[in-house]
Amino acid sequence: MRQRAKFGSRFAAIMAMAGSAVGLGNIWRFPYMVGEHGGAAFIIVYVLCCLTVSLPIFFSESLIGKTTRKDTYGAMEQIAPGGKLKPVGFMAILAAFVIVCFYSVVGGWSFNYLIRSLAGSFNGLDMASAREVFASVGSSPVESVSCMLVFLGMTALIVVAGVDKGIGRFSKISMPVLLVMMLLIAFVSLSLPGAGKGVEYLLKPDWSRLDGPAIASALGQSFFSLSLGVGCILTYASYMKEEESVLTAGVWTAVFDTAFALIAGFAIMPAVFAAGIEPAAGPTLVFETLPVIFSKMGVVLPVIFFLAILIAALSSSISMFEVAVAWLVDQKQMRRVTAVLSVFGAAVVLGCACAVAPSVFRACDFVSSNVFMMIGALAFALIVGWKLPREEVLRHLRFPFIYAVIRYVAPVMIVAIAISNLL
């Protein structure tokens, strides 16, 4: 029997998980959500959501991976021999695959913008031309598809190099570098005249804006941000060394992810306000507003910013890509290279569809984050809370209150967010 791959160190495992967590969600959704939903009040609720719901689900998912030492599908089969849970495993793998396909389109845009900023083509950019550039990047099939392919190719290259030599090594180097780059941008952004308004936007607590939808958004965001429910964390945890703790890995990942989201907020919002522009979210923020602002600060800052986005997107996409690769290697006994090529081939097809048809892109995004992810997270919490032996769970999770949260609180909260997202 082949020896199963492992991360070489605890640092590699934690950086890989943090890499999966830190992604576009932190950069283009979190800062805007904070500002819209009451600043510091929202941050407090977000942290509470992480601590009380998302982190326990993270523990559940990683516990399943670490104890079964299997891919997502194999883990489900091992827990319920006879195949009752197989559909859960299959759906999680499918979800991770669907996410990597539309995520690669955005990854491709980041690559495109990095090249443009390296060429200095954002010099003197105004809002109208920024809109034009983004419209042409997004709507030209050749540009969209070719950049998506480059991004997917980079993802596949890292994954094919192996769990430790590829994913582990990339994460160990890129995560600290990413942190330094974002801190640098935050430093510049905070020193701009008029930046104070952005800080106020992020921090001034406004409890009146903290309504039901705001709380549901906080929960949904903490879920997406910690990459829960689609097998990424499960698969990575299955590569952890025996002596490592899922509690430590989870806490560090959540700390890194939340800190990074906040730093991204301080890198972006003060600059937006200093430029006197209305804050936005999503692609408009990253690909229209920010190029205009950063282009006024020389040629280096836009390069750093788009390189940071590219790295953040890559460190997440490799985790999704690995979910399907692990399944093919473990269950279909494929060689890693063959598995990577197979996933790459399939992803090219759906990725191209996402790149040329915005409706396919939106459908993939909606179904994976509002349906598949929720079902997966619910299933992982229920498995750990109700199916695995209590002693085994407590051996890993140590604190009975975490077990109680996984059994009772997490499932109820997941159903609540799922309903509120679908309404």
Return residues touching ligand PHE (CB under 6 A).
Answer: 20-21, 23-26, 99, 224-225, 227, 230, 232, 316, 319-320
Residue whose structure tokens are 């495992």: 13
Minimum distance, C-beta of residue 20 to ligand PHE, in the bound complex (Å)? 5
Least separation, in Å, of the C-beta of 15 and ligand PHE?
14
CB of 12 or CB of 226, closer to ligand PHE: 226
Structure tokens at 161: 């190099």
Least separation in angstroms between CB 377 and ligand PHE: 10
Taking residue 248's Cβ as centre, other Cβ atoms within 10 Å add up to 12
DSSP 286-341: IIIIHHHHHHTTTTHHHHHHHHHHHHHHHHHHHHHHHHHHHHHHHHS---HHHHHH
Could you tell me what percentage of the chain is helix, strand and coil, using 3-state DSSP and rounding each to the nearest 5?
80, 0, 20
Q: Structure tokens of 327?
A: 């399944």
Return the number of the residue (233 or 293) whose C-beta is nearest ligand PHE: 233
Q: What is the DSSP string of 4-27?
A: PP--SSHHHHHHHHHHHHSSHIII
- Is residue 246 within 8 Å of 237, Cβ to Cβ? yes
Nearest-approach distance from CB 60 to ligand PHE, in angstroms: 16
Q: Which is nearer to ligand PHE, 65 or 403 (CB)?
A: 65
Q: Which is nearer to ligand PHE, 256 or 403 (CB)?
A: 256
Q: What is the closest distance, in whole angstroms, from the C-beta atom of residue 132 to ligand PHE in the complex?
A: 27
Q: Which of 145/373 has CB closer to ligand PHE?
A: 373
Residues 149 and 65: their CA atoms lie apart, in Å, by 30
The whole-angstrom distance between residue 300's C-alpha and the CA centroid of its chain comes to: 26
**In the complex, minimum distance from the CB of residue 155 to ligand PHE, in angstroms, rounded to a whole number:** 12
DSSP class per residue in 168-192: IHHHHHHHHHHHHHHHHHHHHHHTS
Residue 227: CB minimum distance to ligand PHE, A: 3
- Would you say 215 or 226 has its CB closer to ligand PHE? 226
Contact between 232 and 20 (Cβ < 8 Å): yes
Biggest alpha carbon distance in the chain?
64
> Least CB distance from residue 376 to ligand PHE, whole Å?
10
* Nearest to ligand PHE of 230, 271 (CB atom): 230
Nearest approach, Cβ of residue 410 and ligand PHE (Å) = 17
C-beta closer to ligand PHE: residue 102 or 403: 102
Residue nearest to ligand PHE (CB): 23
Q: From the CB of 67, what's the least distance to ligand PHE, in Å?
A: 21
* Smaller CB separation from ligand PHE, 92 or 188: 92
Instruction: Between 344 and 403, name the residue whose CB sits nearer to ligand PHE.
Output: 344
Q: Is 233 helix (H, G, I), strand (E, B) or coil?
A: helix
CA angle (171 as vertex; 6, 302 as ends), nearest 5: 165
Whose Cβ is closer to ligand PHE: residue 289's or residue 315's?
315
Q: How far is the CB of 278 from ligand PHE (least distance, A)?
A: 24
The amino acid that residue 271 corresponds to is: A
